[in-house]
Amino acid sequence: MEVVGELKTAREMGLVGCTRCSRVSPMGTQYCPRCGSALQSRDGLSLQKVWAWWLVGLMCYVPANLYPMLETRTLVSTESNTIVGGAVELAQHGNWGVALIILAASVLIPVAKFVLIAGLAIGVWRGPQVSGQRRHFLYEVVEYIGRWSMIDVFVVAILSALVQLQALASITPGRASLFFALSVIFTMLSAQSFDSRLIWDTQRRGDAPDHGLASDDVRKESSA
Amino acid sequence: MTSVDPTPPEAPVKEAGQNLFQRFTFVWIVPIIALLTVFGIAIQNYLERGPLVEISFENASGVKPGTTEVRFRDVVVGLVEDVGFTDGLGRVLVSARLDKDVAPYVDSSAQFWVVRPQVSTQGVSGLNTVLSGVYIEGVWDDQPEGMQPRFEGLPDAPLESLGEDGLRLTLRAAGKTTLTPNAPILYRGITVGRLGKTRISPDGVAAEAEALIFKPHDRLVSSATRFWDTSGFSFSLGPSGAVLDFSSVASLVSGGVTFETMVSGGTPVERGTSFVVHPDEGTARSSIFAADDGERVTLSAVFDENVSGLAVDAPVELNGLRIGEVTALSGLVDPDVFGDNRVRLVVTLSIRPSLLGLEGEDGADTALNFIRQRVSDGLRARLATASILTGGLKVELVDVPDAPPARLESGEADVLYIPTTESDIADVSATAQGVFERINALPVEEVMEQAITLMENANNLITSDDIRAVPENLNGLLGDARGIVNSDDIQALPERLNAVVTELQATVTRLNEQDTVTRLTAAVDSASEAAEGVSSAVAGIPDLVERLNAVAAKAETVEIDTLAAEFTDLLQTTESLLASDAARQLPEKLNGALAELGAVLEQLREGGVVENATSALASASEAADTVADAGRELPDLIAQARGVLARANATLEGYEASNGIGRDARAALIEVQKAAKAVASLARAIERNPNSLLTGR
């Protein structure tokens, strides 16, 4: 926070950084002289991508919660539980810990991801309510934690592979597991699509709204 | 703070929105595809959605909307969507969404029921529903005839629930037979069918059950097939020992019905044919020759007599034909109707119309009308003896010619009373008693005593040594006789006989020469005249018969008793004679006589018996000559015969005058007695001197 005044973005310095090899080239360079990848000071379509992936991820998250996640067939019965249903059942049986873990991994984290990504995108678009550093931290968290949502899918995959005792007992992944995996993948894609450099731009502009497409007004520095 | 370089190089800025692809990211395709997929699937699902059927159930315990499946041959073909009530809350209405493919088959033939776990003696069924929950099973045929939207659910699984096709029959339990629901139908120990739900027949007299004989075993059933109950066991104690009989432990517990085609020539039966289940195999076998138990006509009869001997199951007969049984006996006291306080016998008769040859649906009504008609013509019920030995009674329906008019009355509670008439009960006991009394009165013991003494005497006689010596003497006698036969003289006898015959032939020839025929004709004429005389004599015979009758009448008045007494005396005399020592010694003397006879025969052989015989034959020849002479005198003889006949006639007439035959008979009896006494004295004489028998003195 205390470095706000001195901090200058590469764009402000008339430079463009390579997102691949981190080499900084002068603004206007089309391709990175070191790795040859296309250089772009700001991804103008970043927010579009974020929203698109985010939307698909959300769409997949709905059936992931409606359909059963796990189908357990034993000799006499067939049981299938949705994510929330399974957690509630576990809680009713007294396994509060497991229920909480499942709820955290399968409900809390994905929902938090959706909310955070949407918040970041809205922050870029409409202007931030929180400081840029916090937003950047949140972005890092989203990026980091996104892959851990797959823990549910892993559990299902491992159980399905282990418990295949023919007629005696078998566990098969339910329809929801596929949707849940897709949802996680799409939210990760959504998070990756987010061009975190946009945070800096809005940070510079203070409360000014920015739809992300226009990258002008760079010169309008907040001198404080 | 100082700004280091306030003017960085101008950043090249791309112009936004040259074209669509540059203005929008391709990533938008992904959510669009996702949305399209979702809508596509939704539309497809909606279009492929099957129709909704409503099934009403008595109760829907365990049926959950969204969970309970509709199954056909254990494959899910639908899902229950809603559970509600019919109008008025009378039944539970279950709405189920069926698959589109099977919907056309769910036509009017479809049946639905809820499968629940069941534990019965036949086993456990629907066990899988214990944990998975109930489901609705449906069954329908393979003809798509258009879907029906509403169905009545069955309370239990129908017979065809297993999808097994076959012959449907109705079984009626007769007598004490019990039908167990869902019991197996066995044929030689193999399950070939199943009973359905049991119920009481509409007429209320028997239990009925639907039965299904699975294909291809349905060809085993024909009109000559009889069913019987194999449940339970029978224990019998007979000449072959104790017999415990049951067909299988399974049917012992769960009950069962088996069948067999008893005689050949049965015709195939149609679906829904009714059969009777008999209590055991024996009854079933015997029933093949008896009419089936059909509907029955129940009548009552009130008998004035209270006669023991009538029992339940006693036959009811019409013209000697058994048409039913007595099913109940009870007493009746009704002073208002009968005018006294006596107990009357009320007999309930069960009449089988099939035994009257009145079969079919309205056999009972036809039989009732028939009996009504006959009653107005004079048909009455009466008790009759069924068995002389046991004194058992039966009920007979007989035509009474001058019966007072009566009709089939219906009394209380629609009981039909048939009028009765006097019973026809033979008093066997009285007759038999009379017979026994007479047998008792016979002097058996005296007769026996006399017989015993007679036997004793005969025994003494036979066992005496003299009698034993008789065969030896006889042997000697026979030897002597053989000696005589073998002598040369006897051998020469045939030749001489031949000569005699030759002479006889000559004599006959001579007779022929002497105009015998004419004489014979004359003789026949005379005989004819004589016959006429006889016929005139015969004319008087009727009178004679009358007189004889009169004589006989008098003879009846003769004191037979006296006569009998004298006979008795005679018998006693004879007995004492036989008992006398002299009689016992008789054999000994006979022996002596036989010995003497042997001596005589010896003498005869020594003497010229054969020569004497030859001379005798010569005399015979002469006699033949005399016969020839006599033939000439035949007419005279015939004339004499006429005279004799005339005299016989006169004698017959003379009988008319004499009517003292009784007296004569008595005199004759006295003479018989004298003769008997003379025999006695003769016997004594013989005893004194047995040789006189042979010597003639």
Residue that wins the pLDDT comparison between A129 and B195: B195
Mean pLDDT of B105-111: 84
Cα-atom radius of gyration of chain A, to the nearest Å?
22
According to the model, what pLDDT value does residue B554 have?
66
Please state the rounded mean pLDDT for residues B470-497.
81
What does pLDDT average to over chain B?
A: 76
Subunit contact A27:B30, Cβ cutoff 8 A: no
Task: Give the angle B79-B84-B85 at the CA atoms, nearest 5°.
Answer: 135
User: Is the Cα torsion angle B183, B188, B191, B194 positive or negative in sign?
Assistant: negative
Do A137 and A185 lie in a common domain? yes
Residue to mutate among A24, A59, A72, A187, with most B CBs inside 10 A, is A59
| Segment (H or E) for B136 | strand B135-139
Q: In the A/B pair of chains, how many CB contacts fall below 8 A?
A: 63
Residues A75 and A140 in one domain: yes
Q: Give yes or no: residues A115 and A127 share one domain.
A: yes
Q: pLDDT band at residue B452, thresholds of 50, 70 and 90?
A: very high
The backbone torsions φ and ψ at residue A213, rounded to the nearest 5 degrees and listed phi first, read -75, -45
Task: Please tell me the predicted confidence (pLDDT) of residue B651.
Answer: 60
pLDDT, residue B41, reads: 92
For residue B288, the model assigns a pLDDT of: 67
- Out of A26, A44, A53, closest to residue B16 by CB: A44
Confidence of residue B36 (pLDDT cuts 50, 70, 90): very high
Q: Give the model's pLDDT for residue A207.
A: 44
Instruction: Assess whether pLDDT exceeds 70 at residue B395.
Output: yes
Do residue A31 and residue A139 come from a single domain?
Answer: no
CATH code, A140: 1.20.140
Q: What is the pLDDT of residues B624-633, one digit of tens each?
A: 676 667 556 6
The stretches of chain A forming alpha helices (DSSP H) are 46-66, 83-92, 96-103, 109-126, 132-145, 151-162, 175-193, 197-205
Distances (CA, A) of B398 to B303, B328, B378, B420, B484: 14, 21, 8, 9, 84
Given a cut of 50, whether residue B87 has pLDDT beyond it is yes
Of B11, B14, B34, the CB nearest to A14: B11
* Higher-pLDDT residue of B243, B667: B243
User: Is B197:B183 a contact under the CB 8 Å cutoff?
Assistant: no
Domain co-membership, A73 together with A175: yes
Determine the residue among A4, A31, A43, A45 to mutate to test chain B binding: the one whose Cβ has the most chain B Cβ atoms within 10 Å.
Answer: A45
Contact residues for B332 (Cβ-Cβ < 8 A; gap 6+): B302, B343, B344, B345, B346
Indicate whether A53 and A137 sit together in one domain. yes
Size (chain B), residues: 697
Higher pLDDT, B374 or B579: B374
Q: Does the beta-carbon distance from B27 to A213 stay under 8 Å?
A: no
Average pLDDT of B13-34? 73
Domain map (residue ranges) of chain B: 47-160, 164-287, 297-430, 444-695
* A22 shares a domain with A75: no
Q: Residues 6 or more apart from A64 whose CB is under 8 A from it?
A: A83, A176, A177, A179, A180, A182, A183
pLDDT of residue B89: 86
Instruction: Give tens-digit pLDDT for B296-309.
Output: 778 888 887 766 77
Interface with chain A: mutation pick from B30, B130, B135, highest number of A CBs within 10 Å: B30
Do A35 and A47 have their domain in common?
Answer: no
CA dihedral B550, B552, B553, B556 (to 10 degrees): 160
Give mean pLDDT, residues B545-551: 71
**Would you give the distance in Å from CA B300 to the centre of its chain?**
28
Residue A71 and residue A34 in one domain = no
Predicted confidence (pLDDT) per residue in B124-139, tens digit: 777 777 777 788 888 8
Q: What is the ipTM of this complex?
A: 0.73
Closest Cβ–Cβ partner in A11, A45, A213 for B11 = A11
Are A5 and A224 within 8 A, CB to CB? Answer: yes
Per CB-CB distance under 8 Å, the chain A contacts of B35 are: 59
In this structure, the dihedral spanned by the alpha carbons of residues B470, B474, B476 and B479, taken in order and rounded to 10 degrees, is -170
Kindly determine whether residue A28 and residue B28, on different chains, have CB atoms separated by under 8 Å. Answer: no
| pLDDT recorded at residue B1 | 45
Let me know: does B180 contact B195? Beta carbons within 8 Å: yes
Q: How far is B151 from chain A (nearest CA, A)?
A: 30
Q: How many domains does chain A have?
A: 2
Most confident of B4-8, B276-280, B428-432: B276-280
Q: What percent of chain B has pLDDT over 90?
A: 3
Q: Mean pLDDT check: name the lowest of A155-164, B106-115, B541-550.
A: B541-550
Least trusted range by pLDDT, from A41-45, B56-60, B269-273: A41-45
Angle between helices A132-145 and A109-126 (to 10 degrees): 140
The whole-number pLDDT of residue B551 equals 64
Q: What pLDDT is stored for residue B160 in this prediction?
A: 65
A140: left (phi over 0), alpha (psi -120 to 50) or beta: alpha
User: Chain A: nearest CA to B65, how far in angstroms?
Assistant: 17
Chain B residues close to A15, C-beta within 8 Å: 8
Q: How is the beta sheet containing A70-74 ordered, strand by strand? A: A78-81, A70-74, A169-173
**Contact yes or no for B276/B205 (Cβ under 8 A):** no
Q: How far apart are CA A207 and CA A212, in angstroms?
A: 14
pLDDT (mean) for B648-676 = 63
| 3-state secondary structure labels for all residues of B456-491 | HHHHHHHHCHHHHHHHHHHHHHHHHHHHHHHCHHHH
Chain A residue nearest residue B26, CA to CA: A49
Distance (Å, rounded) from C-alpha B299 to C-alpha B386? 20
Looking at chain B, which residue has its C-alpha nearest residue A76?
Answer: B131
What dihedral angle (degrees, nearest 10) is formed by the CA atoms of B437, B441, B442, B447? 140
Regarding whether A130 and A30 lie in a shared domain, the answer is: no
* B197 vs A114 pLDDT, higher one: A114
Q: Which residue has the higher pLDDT, A108 or B412?
A: A108
The pLDDT of residue A224: 33
**The predicted structure's pLDDT at residue B624:** 62
pLDDT reading at B43 higher than 90: yes
Tell if the CB–CB gap between B132 and A41 is shorter than 8 Å. no
> Is A210 part of a structural domain of the chain?
no
pLDDT tens-digit map of B587-635: 677 777 677 777 776 776 666 655 665 676 676 667 667 666 755 666 6
Show contacts of B59-67: CB within 8 Å, 24+ apart: B59/B92, B60/B92, B60/B94, B60/B114, B61/B114, B61/B116, B61/B134, B62/B114, B62/B116, B62/B129, B62/B133, B62/B134, B63/B92, B63/B94, B63/B114, B63/B134, B63/B136, B64/B133, B67/B133
Does the beta carbon of B128 lie under 8 angstroms from any beta carbon of chain A?
Answer: yes
Cβ under 8 Å to A: B residues 5-34: 5, 8-14, 16, 24-25, 27-28, 30-31, 34
Report yes or no on A152 lying in a domain: yes
**Confidence tier at A54 by pLDDT (50, 70, 90):** very high
| A49 reaches B (C-beta below 8 A) | yes
As given in the structure block, the two tokens for residue B21 are: 């692809």
Kindly state whether residue A220 falls inside one of the protein's structural domains. no
Angle separating helix axes A83-92 and A46-66, nearest 10 degrees: 50
Q: What domain range is A1 assigned to?
A: 1-41
Indicate whether B450 pLDDT > 80. Answer: yes
Does A56 fall in a domain? yes
| Alpha-carbon span B476 to B474, nearest angstrom | 5
Asked whether the predicted pLDDT for residue B576 surpasses 60, the reply is yes
* Residue A206, pLDDT above cutoff 60: no
Residues of A in contact with B130 (CB under 8 A): 76
* Per-residue confidence (pLDDT) for residue A214, from 0 to 100: 39
Does pLDDT of B558 surpass 60?
Answer: no
CA distance B641 to B649: 12
pLDDT at res. B491: 76
**Is residue B476 left, alpha or beta, with left meaning phi > 0 and alpha meaning psi from -120 to 50?**
alpha
Same domain, A84 and A28: no
Range with the largest mean pLDDT of A5-9, A137-141, B173-177: A137-141
Read off the tokens for B624: 């033949």
| Element (DSSP H or E) covering residue B682 | helix B661-688
Q: Give a yes or no: residue A10 inside a domain.
A: yes
Interface of B with A in 505-524 (CB under 8 A): none
